[in-house]
């Protein structure tokens, strides 16, 4: 069922202007979560029209979750801004078990290896991270349980806030120099052809996962965030989430180069 959101249900989105006329709640999208055996929420922002499509508004707006690997985004920005890393080819970590070094670009695209970015967390240090997390107004800004604060129940962020973060990253609007933001955008996993470009970042901790990013068609960006959780056994939530994102976007006319 699709309906325009009433004013009394709205709370201001942290980064994006929101009015009763530019938000549509689409609870028909639940079918894609049900089919995958998960629950969650989804938000899509059409930047050109200034319009939001949201499924499960209370969870999207009001519920906070650990960022897991999506915290690689601000952490990479901080490392590049402060000079801890020079560029995307700089060494982030060394895998002693495989005798392999990981550049920022390589580390950013590796899944299920939080130990790689934990080495960067320690190099940055708690004080530096706290200053930048505060500057970003990132989630609840809690760094207790350092250095695993982005995986434990310390640092938490809403899907709404994640959508604002990814939108501001795209437009170089975060409190960093342009170069770090451009570099981080360039290392996000991408699917691209002549019709569309899909850039995203995933994350998972336990039974909770994220997929967030943007899809471009004809240079027109649309920003999305999907948060999901499994209620039974632990699943590959990033893969499931990415398929849900595509299943939601395809009937909306995406991936055809016509948006």
State the pLDDT confidence band at 20, using cuts at 50, 70 and 90: low
State the pLDDT confidence band at 207, using cuts at 50, 70 and 90: very high
Whole-Å CA distances, 203 to 25, 72, 128, 164, 236: 25, 9, 23, 17, 10
Whole-Å CA distances, 95 to 48, 116, 119, 162: 43, 8, 10, 30
pLDDT in tens, 180-203: 999 999 999 899 999 999 999 999
pLDDT for the residue numbered 113:
78
pLDDT for the residue numbered 232:
80
pLDDT for the residue numbered 5:
37
d(Cα 47, Cα 130) in Å, to the nearest integer? Answer: 31
% pLDDT > 70, the chain: 90
State the pLDDT confidence band at 211, using cuts at 50, 70 and 90: very high
Residue 10 has pLDDT above 90, yes or no: no
Domains and CATH numbers, the chain: 2-252 (3.40.710.10)
pLDDT for the residue numbered 29:
98
Select from 55, 48, 70 the least CA-distant residue to 222.
48
pLDDT in tens, 78-115: 999 999 999 999 998 876 665 678 899 999 988 777 88
Task: Assess contact for 227 and 244: CB atoms under 8 A.
Answer: no
pLDDT in tens, 122-145: 999 999 999 999 999 999 999 999
* Single pTM value for the model: 0.91
């Amino acid at each position: 069922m699709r309906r325009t959101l009433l004013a009394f249900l709205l709370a201001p989105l942290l980064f994006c202007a929101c009015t009763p006329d530019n938000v549509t709640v689409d609870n028909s999208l639940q079918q894609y979560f049900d089919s995958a055996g998960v629950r969650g929420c989804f938000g899509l922002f059409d930047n050109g029209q200034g319009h939001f499509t949201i499924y499960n508004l209370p969870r999207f707006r009001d519920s906070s979750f650990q960022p897991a690997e999506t915290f690689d985004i601000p952490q990479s920005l901080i490392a590049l801004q402060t000079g801890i890393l020079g560029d995307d080819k700089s060494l982030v970590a060394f895998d002693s078990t495989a005798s392999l070094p990981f550049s920022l670009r390589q580390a950013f695209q590796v899944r299920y290896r939080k130990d790689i970015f934990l080495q960067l967390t320690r190099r940055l240090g708690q004080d530096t991270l706290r200053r930048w997390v505060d500057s970003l107004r990132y989630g609840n800004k809690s760094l207790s349980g350092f250095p695993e604060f982005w995986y434990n129940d310390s640092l938490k962020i809403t899907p709404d806030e994640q959508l604002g973060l990814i939108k501001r990253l795209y437009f170089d609007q975060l409190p960093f120099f342009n170069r770090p933001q451009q570099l981080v955008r360039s290392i996000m996993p991408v699917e691209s052809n002549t019709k569309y470009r899909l850039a995203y970042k995933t994350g998972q901790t336990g039974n909770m996962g994220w997929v967030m990013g943007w899809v471009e068609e004809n240079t027109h960006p649309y920003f999305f965030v999907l948060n999901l959780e499994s209620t039974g056994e632990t699943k590959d939530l990033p893969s499931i989430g990415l398929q849900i994102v595509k299943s939601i976007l395809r009937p909306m006319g995406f991936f055809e180069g016509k948006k």
